[in-house]
Amino acid sequence: MKDLKKRHLEVCYYLLEHNFPVSLSKISKELGYSVNTLKKDLPLIESLLQEKNIKLIKKPRVGIIVKADLKDIECFKKELKEKIGIIHDKNERFVKTALIFLFSNEPPTIEKLSEMLEVSSVSAYNYVKKVKEYLQKFGIILRGYSRRGYYLLGEEEKIREIAIDLILSYYYNDWLKLWEEILGNNINILRDLLIDLDIKKLISILERVEEIYKFKLDDMYFVKLLLRFVVALQRIRMGKIIKEKVKLSLNREFKEEVKKIVLEIKKELGIDIPESEYSYLFYSISMFIRYGNYDVDFNNIMNILLNSLDRHLLDNLYENYHLLETLAYHLLRSIQKVRSGAKIENPLLELIKETYADEFNVGRYIIGQVNKKFSIELDENEVGYVTLYINILKENAKRKKIAIVCPMGIATSNMLYWKLKQEFPNLEIVDVLSYKDFIKKYTLLNVDLIVSTAPLPVNVIPYVIVSPLLTKNEVEVLRKILLS
């Protein structure tokens, strides 16, 4: 197609990877192109998609989304991957150059970089200049010495954050793709740099922490936490230590909790972690740890929910007590995330506000009460998740059945669960799984169909992809599949 540029392919691939509406501002932020440029490109992008039997749907004040048969989408994605792979070769080398400086035990020389990047010495030097300029923006100095190589100078914690951001940028913040590579022991961008670090053992350690504290992170947060540990442990092995306590000062109880994890890392991975790193590690895992007033907090949230929902004339609350408990635990997790410095994001926020306006107002009232009680600042993103629960309560659906896989979090998983139960009363839902749990358990599932919100890497069991809100068209498709 005439005038086709790399950004057009990038935007097409980005849209194909999302099964919910995304705004131009979000695309702009994640791909780095201006909103005005994207607006001008839309007609060409729409035409490009139409050639592949893919329709671009524009939802005012919500975003854009593509609709097509899964086969057409996967076929075009494969074609784009090959083209984008060539286009992004320079970007890949830039990221790899930066990570070599961040993760190499010995200061790399131009000759070594040329060998690792498979480019000429002149090209390697050009990548070094770009990385140097990039790091300077964050106050990190890359200093080169003749015959001795390049050294990084700067705050250790900031260096780790840069490493995490670079790895995520390589995957365009597609944590699901990163997770697939982790499970396959094939993290492309880190393969030559993380020698002897057994990531699967590290996953097991973090999963045991979840079990001990009866606290389960969403897939996305688990991947980001794992990545945080991978970067920290690699830097510690290199002797790059945080020498002063950061972010938090730990009381005796929390210091003992961190020590248990540190001892397990030493036993399983053979890495000694100095005590000066404890605060950093606790900050990283604080979403796992149950606070001392957990039960009291839970009861306070349940009281807020019962009083608030009763105030807004929602009937049969006690018949849905289990769902109320689920919402209460969800709010506790959100409070812990915000207290630990994490940001709550809700990609469906605008769609939820438009679709469930009345329920959203009730959710806003509940979050206002929670913020007041806990001296916290949960924003509209969290109101959106609470709105999903409120909608389920209002529908008062009867119980139903099948296997659901949803990597987007507990709120959206439960929304899809209850939507399916409402639409298919005779359907038995045997399990609701995260992407991570599905990879572990799929061989044990005894089901005829899996309903998933994301593509799955196995075809042993038939599956269908739907949006978390389960549209009318998707309901009809499911009905035909279940009746066939």
Can you give the residue ranges of every domain in the chain? 6-87, 92-285, 294-394, 398-483
Q: Which of 330, 302, 334 minimizes the C-alpha distance to 410?
A: 330
pLDDT(149) > 80: yes
- Which tens digits make up the pLDDT trace of 93-114? 788 899 999 998 889 999 988 8
Q: What is the mean pLDDT of residues 206-222?
A: 73
Q: Which of 176, 164, 228 minimizes the C-alpha distance to 202?
A: 228
Q: Give the C-alpha separation, 237 to 239, whole Å.
A: 5
Place of tokens 């057994």: 198
CATH superfamily of 294-394: PRD domain (1.10.1790.10)
Q: Which position has the higher pLDDT, 221 or 467?
A: 467
- Which tens digits make up the pLDDT trace of 40-51? 999 999 999 999
Are residues 188 and 181 in contact, defined by beta-carbon separation less than 8 angstroms? Answer: yes
Confidence (pLDDT) at 25 = 87
Chain centroid, CA 242 distance in Å: 26
Q: Give the C-alpha separation, 116 to 107, whole Å.
A: 13
Q: Give the C-alpha separation, 58 to 64, whole Å.
A: 5
Q: Give the C-alpha separation, 304 to 301, whole Å.
A: 5
Q: Which position has the higher pLDDT, 128 or 17?
A: 128
Confidence (pLDDT) at 386 = 93
Q: What is the mean pLDDT of residues 207-214?
A: 72
Position 211: which residue type?
E
Q: What is the mean pLDDT of residues 51-65?
A: 91
Highest mean pLDDT among 6-20, 160-174, 200-214: 6-20
Q: Which CATH architecture has domain 6-87?
A: Orthogonal Bundle (1.10)
Q: Go through the chain and tell me how many residues it has.
A: 484
Name, in order, each residue with C-beta under 8 angstroms of 208's C-beta and a sequence gap of 6 or more: 264
Q: Give the C-alpha separation, 28 to 30, whole Å.
A: 6
Instruction: Tell me which DSSP letter residue 2 carries.
Output: T
**Average pLDDT for the chain:** 81
Instruction: Tell me which DSSP letter residue 291 carries.
Output: P
Q: Which position has the higher pLDDT, 318 or 378?
A: 378
Q: The pTM is what?
A: 0.50
Q: Which of 22, 57, 74 minimizes the C-alpha distance to 463?
A: 74
Q: How confident is the model at residue 121 (pLDDT cuts 50, 70, 90)?
A: confident
Q: What is the mean pLDDT of residues 176-194?
A: 71
Place of tokens 């809100």: 469
Confidence (pLDDT) at 316 = 52
Burial class (CB in 10 A: 0-12, 13-18, 19+), 103: buried
Please state which of the ranges 229-243, 314-328, 463-477 shows the lowest mean pLDDT.
314-328
**β pairing state of 428-433 and 450-452:** unpaired
Percentage of the chain exceeding pLDDT 90: 22
Q: What are phi and psi of 4, to 5 degrees?
A: -75, 130
Q: What is the dihedral of CA 210, 213, 214, 219, to 10 degrees?
A: -30
> Strands (DSSP E) along 31-86, which ranges?
55-59, 63-67
Q: Give the C-alpha separation, 357 to 171, whole Å.
A: 35
Residue 384 tokens, joined: 């959106």
- Which tens digits make up the pLDDT trace of 374-429? 888 999 999 999 999 888 777 654 444 688 998 877 778 888 888 888 887 667 78
Q: What is the mean pLDDT of residues 242-262?
A: 64
Angle separating helix axes 156-170 and 219-237, nearest 10 degrees: 130
Confidence (pLDDT) at 231 = 92
- Which tens digits make up the pLDDT trace of 425-464? 667 788 888 888 888 888 888 888 889 988 888 777 888 8
Instruction: Tell me which DSSP letter residue 404 carries.
Output: E
pLDDT(170) > 80: no
> Which CATH code, of 1.20.140, 2.50.20, 3.40.50, 3.30.420, is assigned to 398-483?
3.40.50
